[in-house]
Structure 1
Amino acid sequence: MFSHQHSSRPAFTLKTFLQHVKLPVLAATVCALLLACSTPLEKKPVSKPVKTDLTIIPQNAPVNYPVQVHEAPPLPREFRAVWVSTVANIDWPSRRDLSTEKQKNEIIAILDNAVQLKLNAIVLQVRPAADAIYPSTIEPWSEFLTGEQGRPPSPYYDPLQFWIDQAHARGLELHAWFNPFRARTAQAKTVVAANHISKLAPQVVKTYGDLQWMDPGEPVAMQQTLNVIGDVVRRYEVDGIHIDDYFYPYPIKSGNGSEVDFPDDPAWITYLQSGGKLARFDWRRENVNRLVEAINQRVHLEKPWVKFGISPFGIGRPDRLPPGITGFSQYDKLYADVELWLARGWLDYLAPQLYWPINQGPQAFKVLHDYWLAQNTTGKHVWPGLYTSRIDNSDKSWSADEILNQVDAMREKAGNGHVHFSMVALNQNRKGIRQRLAAEKYTSQALIPASPWLDNTLPASPLLEASADKKSVHLQLASTVNTRLLAIWKRTEQQWLFSVVPAQDMLIDLSDDPQYGPVRQLTVSAISRTGIEGVRASYSLP
């Protein structure tokens, strides 16, 4: 079901045996060996019970052998994330006129629900339309935050920093989600701020239907997006950078039903005059390719451990699709060559939006999932997006079972993650979906799968020190620079119990579990920023 990260542990040797046994037993053992052997046996120093970086042997251990340390299971791994949309106030904030206190309360409620559901990542939309939900010198405050573009929250606070702090305090990753080129939505109501790109560089912003769009063929537009993303990675401790499926806009139709072409003539003519040889559609794809490659480079140049993820439309190139699969071509209409990005390794995870039911033949969920797994030749993560918000009160509503079955379908193919769109459906627990996911699919916490290509450095191994009453263990780390989380296994008489806590939580309770009884062993490992597990440390109780 999950992919696992193993760590090595030393075998129990004669040396460790001699270090831990009591003196009377050691003497008897040595005498017996001397009588049986023709050559003298080298004397070994006898030590008192010791604390090592791997195992603490309690003082009251049996005199003839150390307390047995059982091998804890491999770590459960699965990316369990949810999109939090700020555009049009879909998820947060619920309205444009909320006070700072109410905005913070909604953030806390979302994060607490995520923890209760045993999710491990939030994908937060920080740039809905060339604007920002954080203080920026590049783009104005979003009107979806305060009701007026350019107006900061009052009383003032930094919403993105608050999201990050609160998410990390709960052991959740926070990925910052950017719309690459959208400049204004149909839901926009206020006057455009003076520092919006449509005012600063109007020549690169095009009106297309009821939208305004930065032309991907304009170098200024691409540089704007790169500057914004670089600024956030540099200033904030985000765990991921995420872009969605809006490259060139989805096509609109004129009154006679014909498709309206995107108005990029100036950029196209400039390209031709500079000696460009590509056909127009190939040129558009190359514009998007250059953006994706540049974001990947910029993110990892700023902070090599930060993941870069893309969430494209769920159907790939028409000339590569499996038999029976039909539908909208993002390759031809959005100019997104997703297969190329995977092949070149220009991302750390792909979250294709598989927003169709399992039994919808032309866009069959399982077939499309298999397709994207097959395209992943560089071994990055494939974490599909699920249309959880399709559970609603309409006549075409999905059942909760559809999402539950899709989770099962991915796990059956060794899928190790997914993202729910969006938080509102989980917050509202539509048709019991949050309760059922928690009870049936997310029965224990899970760690996000590791990304060793970003950084494979082992985090520091924990040192464990038991309290005098053996009811808790204090944990110390030689360094916390590369450590974000602690993975904890507790063994009772009946089973192993798993949990994840932030690396700031240095006291671990050993009280009896109310359901499974006394804790017999504690095993702890540090988890790095890229999900790498360090050497495990264990403490055994008699």
Structure 2
Amino acid sequence: MLRVLLAGIALFALSGCALIPPAPEYVAPPAPREFRAMWVATVANIDWPSKPGLPVAVLREEMQRILTTARQLKLNAVILQVRPAADAIYPSQFEPWSEYLSGRQGVAPGDGCDPLAEWVKAAHASGIELHAWFNPYRARHASAKSPLAAQHVANTHPQIVKTYGDMLWMDPGEEQAAARTLAVIADVVRRYDVDGVHIDDYFYPYPIKETGDRAGDELPFPDQPSWTRYRQHAGLFAWRDRADWRRNNVDRLVRDIYSTVHAIKPWVKVGVSPFGIGRPDRRPAGIAGFSQYDKLYADVEHWLRAGWLDYLAPQLYWPIDREAQAFAVLLTYWSSENWRGRHLWPGLFTSRIDDSEKSWQPEEIRQQIALQRSSGGASGHVHFSAAALVQNRKGIADVLAKTTYVGAALVPSTPWVRPAGSGWLLAPRVELTCPSVAPASDGSDLCRVVVNAPDSDAAVASNLAALWLRYGNVWQLQATAVGRDGASIPISRDGEKLNLVVARLVDRYGLEGAETVQSVPAAGLPGRDTQ
């Protein structure tokens, strides 16, 4: 009971601190809100590109195929892995080009291509958010084949890189490791118009087993030098327990990522996608499994309480009927830990739909989304990963399109990062042209709506417009990109059923501005707009 009371007090305080002005009155309904995203993994060529060394033209074709799938499913965000292992899929002053692009680390993909810039531009043109996904500590993946480039951290700062199993890791206990990750993230946020910064579940590495005489024991992570140096210099208030020290190393990085990103661009969301099971001392009855708190040194519950993230995407990668990792129970758990009311968008293991005997069926994912929607505590979800949806494995994309993503939705707003006193976006300029009614088969049953921001400031503040269309008495939402040059959108007149068009700009924090209302005239007559 006390936890519920404290949660209510915290949410009330947050709503008071946001200083959001009263919302405008709307003719059309407020837009439905749900985060619908897919992860696009570049490591090991899981999703994009499909293999290393492809021509730039093919890289672009594959990118467009992924975004086309997202548009068709009415997804509104893509989480793109831009730093798989101390490397980059964009030109970086800090790290070498990723080998998953060209096939050789340090070699650019060619044609002057900047993949991240192209992903951002193409996603925004489709009305889709682009979140940049960073691995904070991994320095070389087991799938890597090419030699390390001269610019790679293992060559420039070998003292902070450790070998653990068949991978390389930057030691979280080394201050230079955290500083490097922060510099890389800050560089991307400054140079690219990303909508979010995202880190996954790899903090300290997942433990691996010893071989030989000690087979079965966990291989210790080789951070003795940084631990010893810390103990020598930390003084009276030093952490006595090594596990607590490791958790503190990760805590400080998560905290600093949050403050660094928002100091540069306050509208850029910061998200974390941890392993899906919480601390052993907090778990609901019947939940069992791996402890990221004890093994990865990730105190996710603390990050939520401290407010060091805007969204949490716990990886709930188990079927609904798995009792020890029950989807609904874990989702409720994370909701109960979310005292500050940050976004909760669970990760779904959609790629578990495959050709194996243990493959899931599409119905599993459909039901998990239904549980998320009925939970009351989560407002979206993320598919791992793009490949399953693009390939339409076992018809999963068809199932979701027909049953789950029938209408469009906007990304939930993030008012707690919006500067106090920020005003609402002005109503957009709208022009509507409708030709004389003709059979729809020849394409002339289409009207065209042109949406422009009212001034240059608004154009910078908004990449998106919410376009409401009223057919008879039924409203239909269409989210569309709006840049400096505006947007021109063809819409079906559906005979004479279309009678009203309402447009609102959406600011960088996800809040809808004032609306413009345009009546649809009888065939061949000009319309009128009101604001």
Question: Would you say same fold, with TM above 0.5?
Answer: yes
Map of 2:527 onto structure 1: none
Deviations along 1:78-123, one digit per CA (max 9) or x if unpaired, are 0000000000000011011201111111001111111011111000
Structure 2 Cα separation of the partners of residues 383 and 230 of structure 1: 24
Map of 1:419 onto structure 2: 382
Map of 1:386 onto structure 2: 348
Map of 1:64 onto structure 2: none
- Which residue identity is paired with 1:264? D
Map of 1:250 onto structure 2: 206
Map of 1:271 onto structure 2: 230
Which of 469, 474, 479 aligns to 1:495? It is 474
Contact 2:480 2:487 in 1 (8 A): no
Q: Deviation of residue 462 (structure 1)? A: 1.5
Alignment partner of 1:523 is 2:502: yes
Alignment partner of 1:99 is 2:55: yes
- Which residue identity is paired with 1:121? A
Q: Deviation of residue 6 (structure 1)? A: 9.3
Contact 1:460 1:480 in 2 (8 A): no
Number of residue equivalences: 476
| 1:37-436 matches, cutoff 5 A | 71-255=27-211, 256-274=215-233, 275=235, 276-414=238-376, 415-436=378-399
Structure 2 Cα separation of the partners of residues 538 and 170 of structure 1: 23
Contact 2:451 2:482 in 1 (8 A): no
Q: 3-state SS of the aligned residue for 1:216? A: coil
Contact 2:24 2:513 in 1 (8 A): no
| Ranges in structure 1 where 5+ consecutive residues have no aligned partner | 11-70
- Which residue identity is paired with 2:375? K
Q: 3-state SS of the aligned residue for 1:443? A: coil
Deviations along 1:147-176, one digit per CA (max 9) or x if unpaired, are 100001122210100111111111010000
Map of 2:453 onto structure 1: 477
- Which residue identity is paired with 2:497? P
Which of 470, 494, 504 aligns to 1:513? It is 494
Structure 1 residues 509, 95: closer, same or farther in 2, change over 3 A?
A: closer
Alignment partner of 1:464 is 2:430: yes
Q: 3-state SS of the aligned residue for 1:475? A: strand
Q: 3-state SS of the aligned residue for 1:246? A: coil
Structure 1 Cα separation of the partners of residues 89 and 141 of structure 2: 16
Structure 1 residues 93, 465: closer, same or farther in 2, change over 3 A?
A: closer
Q: Deviation of residue 9 (structure 1)? A: 2.3
Alignment partner of 1:453 is 2:416: yes
Contact 2:91 2:97 in 1 (8 A): yes
Contact 2:82 2:134 in 1 (8 A): yes
Q: 3-state SS of the aligned residue for 2:143? A: coil
User: 4+ residue stretches of structure 1 with deviation over 2 A?
Assistant: 5-10, 463-479, 504-511
- Which residue identity is paired with 1:426? L
Deviations along 1:456-494, one digit per CA (max 9) or x if unpaired, are 642222233445969544434223121111101111115
Contact 1:129 1:183 in 2 (8 A): yes
Deviations along 1:49-72, one digit per CA (max 9) or x if unpaired, are xxxxxxxxxxxxxxxxxxxxxx32
TM-score by length of 2: 0.87
Structure 1 residues 508, 334: closer, same or farther in 2, change over 3 A?
A: same
| Ranges in structure 2 where 5+ consecutive residues have no aligned partner | 1-20, 437-446, 522-531
- Which residue identity is paired with 1:271? Y
Deviations along 1:286-314, one digit per CA (max 9) or x if unpaired, are 00000000000110111111000000000
Structure 1 Cα separation of the partners of residues 307 and 39 of structure 2: 23
Map of 2:526 onto structure 1: none
Deviations along 1:13-43, one digit per CA (max 9) or x if unpaired, are xxxxxxxxxxxxxxxxxxxxxxxxxxxxxxx
Q: Which has the higher contact order (CA 8 A, sep 6+)?
A: 1
- Which residue identity is paired with 1:297? S
Structure 2 Cα separation of the partners of residues 273 and 280 of structure 1: 13
Contact 1:127 1:177 in 2 (8 A): yes
Q: 3-state SS of the aligned residue for 1:488? A: strand
Alignment RMSD? 1.7
Structure 2 Cα separation of the partners of residues 192 and 241 of structure 1: 26
Contact 1:6 1:533 in 2 (8 A): no
Contact 2:346 2:380 in 1 (8 A): yes
Q: 3-state SS of the aligned residue for 2:416? A: coil
Structure 2 Cα separation of the partners of residues 178 and 6 of structure 1: 37
Equivalent pairs: percent with the same residue?
54
Q: Deviation of residue 506 (structure 1)? A: 3.4
Q: 3-state SS of the aligned residue for 1:250? A: coil
Structure 1 residues 334, 491: closer, same or farther in 2, change over 3 A?
A: same
